[in-house]
Chains A and B, each alone.
Chain A
Amino acid sequence: MKKILKYLFIILWSTFVIAPLSWALVTSFKPAAAVNNGATFIPWLQFQPTLDGWKDITGISGYANLFPALINSATITFFSTLVSLSFGCMAAYGLSRFSYGWKHYKNPDIIFFFISQRIMPPAVLAVPFFILLKSLNLLDTKLGLVLVLTSALMPIVVWLLVDFFNQLPKEIDEMAMLEGCNPFEAFIRTILPLSKPGLTVAGMFAIIFGWNDLFFGLVLTFTKVQTLPVAVVALNGTVTPFWTLSASAIFSILPLIGLAFVVERFLSKGGFAGAVR
């Protein structure tokens, strides 16, 4: 009975998660008639699939082209994730291995300071960031958005990686230092190669947050640099047909789904088996 309930729950939850996605996917291949004439789900049986929606967003029909936005999003997400991971992993390692502090403020307070950046609603930062980027002549530039997103992603990376490094035995870096590595070399040569699972998780979170960012993209870029979420939202504001909107939604999440399949193997492998017994 317990097993039946468990599977029932899994099926219900999976349906809840998958249904909107499959609805959008099916709709993106529907012609106008299939969308307007009641609920249909099975291509070729209930309706004849077309690529009209996909042609509308890929510039083939001349309606809209989301590829430049896709490239912008990919570039901005890649660099902001790269910078966040590069500096974030060093900050996290430092917070995990060394004691910092001033008066009664210690490492846990510093870690909380990092994560508190995420507690704050992004809207609070919109005006300061706008003024800052304007004064630096970085409004509506990829570099400007990379800098802003890095500041938003870094706390997540640091928070996740501090916990990961805490789980790695300190004796490994101690041993590396005894064998001639300074702390930085010990980190690069022994800890970082063991940190693939942690870096993958932190990187995935950074990519997801960076890729899906709408707010900063909307506020800090205008015409020259348009990110994918902004472009998709812009389609919503026009007279875009349903099937085209569905195609744009699927289009915007496809890279993330592909990436998830690629990085999955890094997550499942035991990172530091054999380090300490």
Chain B
Amino acid sequence: MNLNLNQVSVESEAEIILKDISFDFQPGKIYVLIGRTTSGKTSLMRTIAGLLEPTDGEIHLGVTRLDEVPIWERGIAMVYQQFINYPQRTVLNNVEFPLLRAGVSKADAKAQALAMIEKVGLSEFVNRKPSQLSGGQQQRVAIARALVRNTRVILLDEPLMNLDYKLREQLREEFRVLFKSTENSVTIYATTEPSEALFLGDELLVMHEGRIIQHGKPNLVFENPANIDVAQIVNDPPMSILDAEIKDGKVTIGNLMNFATPSHLKTQKDGSYKIGIRASEVVLGGSHSNSEEGEVSLSEVSGSETLLYVKLNIGEVVLQLEGIHDYYIGQKVTVSLAPERLFLFNMDGTLCAAPGN
């Protein structure tokens, strides 16, 4: 059964929360909503769930006008980014609860709940209360509660957000297996992390300021961001954006970088543009026409990588370096951009050309 959103808007007195959202979600796929904080991901999920009332538009689930159905009759499961469980109930009672509410007999509810608890790896904790579990285990209980009912729509609102890095990696792997069993459900997963979106999503919906600004296969969106906002959102660390000019077969960035137009930009007219480059494609060193010296403005270690923010005359670029490196603020470094990996955007931010096209 498809979940169809038709021109859905949510507005409050002071602000637009969602604007003209139209999309057709199909069962059996994992849709990943990606966007910055306050881009509208949670609001969209809450609107589908019925926790937020649309000011305009319609939501249909199959032939049912969903936005006219009370929350408790919608048959939608939701996992929050906080690990929400019923604290007074045991793990088993937590997972049984939605089944019992749905009218499943006590014996069947127990059997189904135990099977789901086993699936999420909590069999030895069935009689514990949520407060006696770790954060990851609590979130597994919440996920088990969401999946046990076989609802037609499953909403996961940044479920891994409050977990540590290692646990996040582990659960992300498990999600793919868990969601395989939800072929009849529309699964919508919200995240701010591009790696999560690329790993889990069958389809990516990029949200910005309450709108879906691009959607498609994750790798296609990643390789061809429709505009600078999308490029920034689907890259972590965000893509570095610099002003550039194409003239007489040459690309000029600031005063120092001046190199022959790479093949994928050759068809572009002369004029002013913005270029984008991924952090992984900016390298240290070099003394060519595509290099420039700058000053380290920030150095941070992220997992097994070092993110280096370098201030150039023409703007700031971010480098993603393998391994842990020690740089101090103000240190002089030379950075080089790979011309064949540049994204070219019009001055209004829309994509002109992407590498490989």
Co-assembled chains A and B = yes
- Decide if A274 is an interface residue (CB 8 Å cutoff): yes
Closest 6 pairs (CB-CB, A-B)? A274-B131, A180-B101, A274-B130, A274-B87, A179-B98, A275-B87
How far, in angstroms, from A157 to B72 measured CA to CA in the complex? Answer: 29
Binding site for A on B (CB under 8 A): 49, 51, 70-74, 76-78, 80, 82-88, 97-98, 101-102, 129-133, 135, 138, 145, 149, 162
Binding site for B on A (CB under 8 A): 169, 171-172, 174-182, 185, 190, 193-194, 270, 272-277
Do A193 and B51 touch across chains, with their CB atoms under 8 A apart? no
Q: Give every chain B residue within 8 A of A178 (Cβ-Cβ).
A: 49, 51, 71-72, 74, 76-78
Q: Give every chain B residue within 8 A of A169 (Cβ-Cβ).
A: 82, 84
- From A176, A178, A185, A273, name the one whose CB has the most chain B CB atoms within 10 angstroms: A178
How far, in angstroms, from A202 to B83 measured CA to CA in the complex? Answer: 29
- From A177, A181, A194, name the one whose CB has the most chain B CB atoms within 10 angstroms: A177
How far, in angstroms, from A194 to B85 measured CA to CA in the complex? Answer: 12
Q: Give every chain B residue within 8 A of A273 (Cβ-Cβ).
A: 87, 131
- Would you give the shortest CB distance from B324 to chain A, in whole angstroms? 30
Do B88 and A172 touch across chains, with their CB atoms under 8 A apart? no
Do A274 and B138 touch across chains, with their CB atoms under 8 A apart? yes
- Would you give the shortest CB distance from A270 to chain B, in whole angstroms? 8
Do B84 and A180 touch across chains, with their CB atoms under 8 A apart? no
How far, in angstroms, from A149 to B13 measured CA to CA in the complex? Answer: 42
Q: 7 additional contacts, CB 8 Å, given A171-B84, A178-B76, A275-B86?
A: A169-B84, A180-B102, A181-B72, A185-B72, A273-B131, A274-B130, A277-B82
- Find B78's partner among A172, A175, A190, A274 (CB 8 Å cutoff): A175
B100 closest partner in A (C-beta): A180
How far, in angstroms, from A182 to B50 measured CA to CA in the complex? Answer: 12
Enumerate 28 A-B pairs (CB-CB under 8 Å) in ascending A order: A169-B82, A172-B84, A175-B80, A177-B72, A178-B49, A178-B51, A178-B72, A178-B76, A178-B78, A179-B77, A179-B98, A179-B101, A179-B145, A180-B73, A180-B101, A180-B102, A181-B72, A181-B101, A185-B72, A194-B87, A270-B131, A274-B85, A274-B87, A274-B130, A275-B86, A275-B87, A277-B135, A277-B162
B88 closest partner in A (C-beta): A193
| Count of CB-CB pairs between chains A and B under 8 Å | 69
B129 closest partner in A (C-beta): A274
How far, in angstroms, from A178 to B48 measured CA to CA in the complex? Answer: 11
How far, in angstroms, from A21 to B77 measured CA to CA in the complex? Answer: 58
- From A171, A175, A194, A274, name the one whose CB has the most chain B CB atoms within 10 angstroms: A274
How far, in angstroms, from A272 to B129 measured CA to CA in the complex? Answer: 11
B97 closest partner in A (C-beta): A179
Q: Give every chain A residue within 8 A of B70 (Cβ-Cβ).
A: 182
Q: Give every chain A residue within 8 A of B129 (Cβ-Cβ).
A: 274
Do A177 and B71 touch across chains, with their CB atoms under 8 A apart? yes
Q: Give every chain A residue within 8 A of B73 (Cβ-Cβ).
A: 180
A277 closest partner in B (C-beta): B83
How far, in angstroms, from A169 to B82 measured CA to CA in the complex? Answer: 10
Q: Give every chain A residue within 8 A of B102 (Cβ-Cβ).
A: 180
How far, in angstroms, from A193 to B76 measured CA to CA in the complex? Answer: 24
How far, in angstroms, from A164 to B42 measured CA to CA in the complex? Answer: 26
How far, in angstroms, from A178 to B84 measured CA to CA in the complex? Answer: 12
How far, in angstroms, from A175 to B129 measured CA to CA in the complex? Answer: 17
- Would you give the shortest CB distance from B166 to chain A, in whole angstroms? 17
Do B132 and A274 touch across chains, with their CB atoms under 8 A apart? yes
How far, in angstroms, from A179 to B88 measured CA to CA in the complex? Answer: 16
B135 closest partner in A (C-beta): A277
B51 closest partner in A (C-beta): A174
Q: Give every chain A residue within 8 A of B130 (Cβ-Cβ).
A: 274-275
Q: Give every chain A residue within 8 A of B77 (Cβ-Cβ).
A: 178-179
How far, in angstroms, from A175 to B162 measured CA to CA in the complex? Answer: 18
- Would you give the shortest CB distance from A162 to chain B, in whole angstroms? 21
A182 closest partner in B (C-beta): B72
Do B82 and A171 touch across chains, with their CB atoms under 8 A apart? yes
A179 closest partner in B (C-beta): B98
How far, in angstroms, from A114 to B77 measured CA to CA in the complex? Answer: 37
B132 closest partner in A (C-beta): A274
How far, in angstroms, from A268 to B135 measured CA to CA in the complex? Answer: 24
How far, in angstroms, from A20 to B135 measured CA to CA in the complex? Answer: 51
Do B72 and A180 touch across chains, with their CB atoms under 8 A apart? yes
Q: Give every chain A residue within 8 A of B84 (Cβ-Cβ).
A: 169, 171-172, 175, 275-276
- Would you give the shortest CB distance from B61 to chain A, in whole angstroms? 14
Q: Give every chain A residue within 8 A of B135 (Cβ-Cβ).
A: 277
B151 closest partner in A (C-beta): A178
Do B88 and A194 touch across chains, with their CB atoms under 8 A apart? yes
- Would you give the shortest CB distance from B167 to chain A, in whole angstroms? 13
Do A172 and B86 touch across chains, with their CB atoms under 8 A apart? yes
